[in-house]
Structure 1
Amino acid sequence: MKNLIYLMLSLIGLASCNSRPQKSTYLELSGRTMGTSYSINYRDSLGRNFGPAIDSLLGEINAEVSTYIPSSTISQWNQSEEGIKVDDRPHFLRNYQLAKQVFGETAGWLDPSLMPLVNYWGFGYTEKRPVLAVDSQKVDSLRALCAFGQLKLEKGYLYKTEAGSELDFSALAKGDAVDELGRYLEAQGIRDYMVEIGGELRLRGHQEGAEGWYIGINLPKTDAGLREIQNIVELKNYSLATSGNYRNFYEVEGQKYAHTINPKTGYPEKSQLLSASIFAPNCGRADAWATACMAMGLERAQQLLPNYKELEAHLIYVDSLGQIQTWSTPKAKTWIKQ
C-alpha cells in the first residue's frame, strides 16, 4: 500500500514568458495533513482565503479515515469485534465504496484489508521496524484475515467476517481527499485550481499564463532528488496519482522489502515496475489504481488498463538490461513531454 508520507510528484513553475501586467488573481494555500503536505493554487477575483475551511474539512476527513488517530472511524472499525455503524460517516463510507469498486475492477490487486500484513512488514501504524526473520506461517495466518471481498454492508453497518480484520485506505485516501477539496472549491465558484496532497493532484482549468497545468513526474531512482524530473505532463481537467517502490523500503542482509504488499502472496511485491502514474477524472480512483498497478506488476497492468477508457497511464520500469523504459496509453503519450 502507499505510505502516507510518500511523495512522487512536484508542481513545477513553467510560467509563460508573456507575464500578465495586472495583479495576479491566483492564490496559494499550503499546510500539513495525512502525514504529508498539501498545496492549493486557485484563481479567485474576490481574493477569498479558503484556508480555514480547507483545514476544517481535512480534519473531518482524517477523523474518519486515518489509522494513526485511535478515535477515527477506521480505527474504531479495526478495533471492533464485528464491525460498526458507518452510514453516518460519509468520508469513511466514500473511501470504502471506492475501494470496493477498484477491488472488483482489478480482481483484488487493490486490497484495503491488507492492514495486518502492512503492520507485520513494518509499513503500517504500528512500530516501524524491519522484519529480520520472516515467519511464513505468520504471514499465511495474517493473509487469512484479509477478506475485503467478504465484508458485508447491511443497514448502515459494515460487518467483519473474520475477527482481527483491519482496513487501511492509505492507497486512496489522499486522492479522495484531493477530490473533496476540489469539490469544495467548485462549490465556491472556483474553476481554475490545482489541489495536491502528498503528490496526488486534481487539476481544473489552467494555471496562470498557460492553457493547462504543467506537472513533473519524478525520476524513479532511490538516490534521485524530489526535484529530479523524468517527464513533464501537460494536463487540463484531469487528476493524476503516482505510486512507486523506490523510496519507501528497507533492506535486510541485502534483501529489499518495499511497502507495496502483494495481496496474492502476502509478501512485499518485487517487480520491474518502478512507478505507475494514473490519470483519471477523479484523483481517488487514480490513486487506488496506481497502487493496484504496483501490486500487479508491469505485464498485468499493460493488459488490464486498456479495458478502462477513462483511465490513462504512464508506467516507468527497468528492462532486462537494467535500463529505465516507459510505457504509456495512447492519450497519455500526447500529454507527456520528455
Structure 2
Amino acid sequence: MSKFLRSAVLVCLLGIVAGCGQNPVDEPLRFQGQAMGTSYSVIVYAPEREKLRLEVGIQRRLADVVSTMSTYEPESDVSRFNRAPTDLWVPVSADVVKVVQASLDLAAQTQGAFEPSILPLVNIWGFGPLARPEEIPTEAELTEALAMVGWEAIDVQVDPPALRKRAPREIDLSAIAKGFGADRVAEYLLELGYNRFLVEIGGDMRTSGIKPDGTGWRVGIETPEPGISRQAYRIVELVEDTAIVTSGDYRNYFEVDGQRYAHTLDPATGFPVTHRLASVSVLAENAMLADGWATALTVMQPDDAFALAETIGLSVYLIERGANGFEERMTGEFKHLLGAGVE
C-alpha cells in the first residue's frame, strides 16, 4: 500500500487574473522541484517581489515533512519510532501525531484497508527504502511480515506528542504524507494572505480560489494505462477550495516472469491487489484525507469501495477495467463535475 504514485496530472491554468490583499497581480509565480521522493509544483498569484521568500518557505515546509515522516531518513521521527522497542513512548512532532491519528482513523473506517503499519510488506516487495528483490517474496517472508502488520497496536499521545507500539510494528506514512505536505504548503500560503493557488506534490493537489470569470482550476485525471504517454481521461474543474488525489496501479510496478506486481498492497493478504479497479480519485476538504482515502479505496474491492463512499458521503470517481474497456462510477461532487461521457 506504500509509495503510492498519485496521478492527477495535466493541470490547465488559463487566463487567471488574481489579487492578494491590496496587491493584485496579473501573472502567477511558479515553483517546481523535487521533494518527498517525487516532484512538486506550486502556482500562486503573488507579487514578483515575494518570489524568493515564498520559494524558501515552500521548500522549508516540504523539508519539515520529509525530516519527520520519511522512512528514507534514518533520523526522522517515523524511523526512530520504527527502531524503538515495544511499550515505549517515542517523542515525535505534533505533525506526525496528526498524520498518524488520521491514519488510524482511516484504518478503523476501512477495516484495515488503510494500514499505517505496512512497512514490513512494503520492504519485502521492494517498494520502500530497501532494494527491490529479483523474485517475489516467499511464503515464509510474507508470514513474517504479516505478523508485524496491525494498526490496532499503535497508540497516539497528543500532549506531549508521542507514539507507542504494543507489539512489533513499523509504520509507513507515504500513502498519506504527500497529501499532508500539500496541505502544509497551502496553509503557509493562506497564512501570508495568498488565496489563489494550486499546490501539487506527486499528483496530490490542493487548490484555493477561482478565476476572475468564475471558472476554476482544470485538472486532468489520467488514463489508467501502464506504459503509455500520460494523457487526460477526464477533466474536472474545481471552483471551490478543495483537494483532489488519484491513486492507481498503472505507474509504480515491476514484473517477474511476465507477471505485473503493482505497488498497491493488500494488508490482509500481503500481495498486490489484482481486482479490476484501475484508478480511484477522491475529493476532500484537504489533501491528507484525499490521499489516505484514495489509497484505502484502491485496496478495497470495487463494489465495497463504491458502497462505502456512498454511505459516508465521500466524493469518489472510480475507473474499472471491464470486458469492453474502462467503466466508470462516481459519487458526490463528481456527479456534478463530470457528467456523462469521456473527454
TM-score if structure 2 supplies the norm length? 0.90
**Which residue of 2 is the match for residue 62 of structure 1?**
66
**Which residue of 1 is the match for residue 21 of structure 2?**
none
Question: Which of 307, 312, 316 is the equivalent residue of 1:313?
Answer: 316
Distance 1:207 1:41, change over 3 A: farther
Give unpaired runs (5+ residues) of structure 1. none
Q: Secondary structure at the match of 2:175?
A: coil
Query: What are the residue-to-residue correspondences of 1:217-228 with 2, within 5 Å?
Result: 217-226=221-230, 228=231
Q: Secondary structure at the match of 2:225?
A: coil
Question: Which of 230, 234, 253 is the equivalent residue of 1:231?
Answer: 234
**Which residue of 2 is the match for residue 147 of structure 1?**
150
**Which residue of 2 is the match for residue 48 of structure 1?**
50
The answer on whether the counterparts of 2:124 and 2:133 sit within 8 Å (CA) in structure 1 is: no
Query: 2: distance between equivalents of 1:79 and 1:86?
Result: 10
Q: Secondary structure at the match of 1:269?
A: coil
Question: Which of 187, 194, 219 is the equivalent residue of 1:190?
Answer: 194
**Which residue of 2 is the match for residue 8 of structure 1?**
7
Question: Which of 303, 309, 320 is the equivalent residue of 2:307?
Answer: 303
Query: What are the residue-to-residue correspondences of 1:1-338 with 2, within 5 Å?
Result: 1-3=1-3, 6-13=5-12, 15-16=14-15, 24-45=26-47, 47-49=49-51, 50-82=54-86, 85=89, 88-132=92-136, 134-154=137-157, 156-163=161-168, 165-207=169-211, 211-226=215-230, 228-236=231-239, 237-309=241-313, 311-319=314-322, 321-336=323-338, 338=343
The answer on whether the counterparts of 2:29 and 2:48 sit within 8 Å (CA) in structure 1 is: no
Give unpaired runs (5+ residues) of structure 2. 18-23
TM-score if structure 1 supplies the norm length? 0.91
The answer on whether the counterparts of 2:100 and 2:156 sit within 8 Å (CA) in structure 1 is: no
How far did residue 83 of structure 1 move?
6.3
Distance 1:7 1:159, change over 3 A: closer
The answer on whether the counterparts of 1:122 and 1:130 sit within 8 Å (CA) in structure 2 is: no
Amino acid of the structure 1 residue aligned with 2:264? T
Amino acid of the structure 2 residue aligned with 1:106? T
Amino acid of the structure 2 residue aligned with 1:182? A
Distance 1:118 1:188, change over 3 A: same
CA offset digits 1:126-162 (Å, max 9, x no partner): 1123434x42232122111112112123564322222
Structure 1 ranges of 4+ moved more than 4 A: 83-88, 207-210
Q: Kindly, what percent of the aligned residue pairs are identical? A: 31
Query: 1: distance between equivalents of 2:16 and 2:60?
Result: 37
Amino acid of the structure 2 residue aligned with 1:12? V
Query: 2: distance between equivalents of 1:250 and 1:43?
Result: 40
Q: Which moves more between the two structures, 62-71 or 40-49?
A: 40-49
How far did residue 78 of structure 1 move?
1.0
Query: 2: distance between equivalents of 1:333 and 1:8?
Result: 20
Q: Secondary structure at the match of 1:171?
A: helix
How far did residue 46 of structure 1 move?
6.9
Q: Secondary structure at the match of 1:12?
A: strand
Q: Secondary structure at the match of 1:264?
A: coil
Query: 1: distance between equivalents of 2:245 and 2:161?
Result: 31
How far did residue 238 of structure 1 move?
1.2
Distance 1:68 1:205, change over 3 A: same
Amino acid of the structure 1 residue aligned with 2:3? N
The answer on whether the counterparts of 2:242 and 2:286 sit within 8 Å (CA) in structure 1 is: yes
CA RMSD of aligned residues (A): 2.3
How far did residue 84 of structure 1 move?
5.8
Distance 1:285 1:7, change over 3 A: closer
**Which residue of 1 is the match for residue 20 of structure 2?**
none
The answer on whether the counterparts of 2:43 and 2:199 sit within 8 Å (CA) in structure 1 is: yes
CA offset digits 1:73-117 (Å, max 9, x no partner): 111111112266555512211210110111111111100101001
Query: 1: distance between equivalents of 2:165 and 2:25?
Result: 56
CA offset digits 1:169-217 (Å, max 9, x no partner): 0110000111111111111011111111000000111257652110011
Matched residues, number: 330
Q: Secondary structure at the match of 1:75?
A: helix
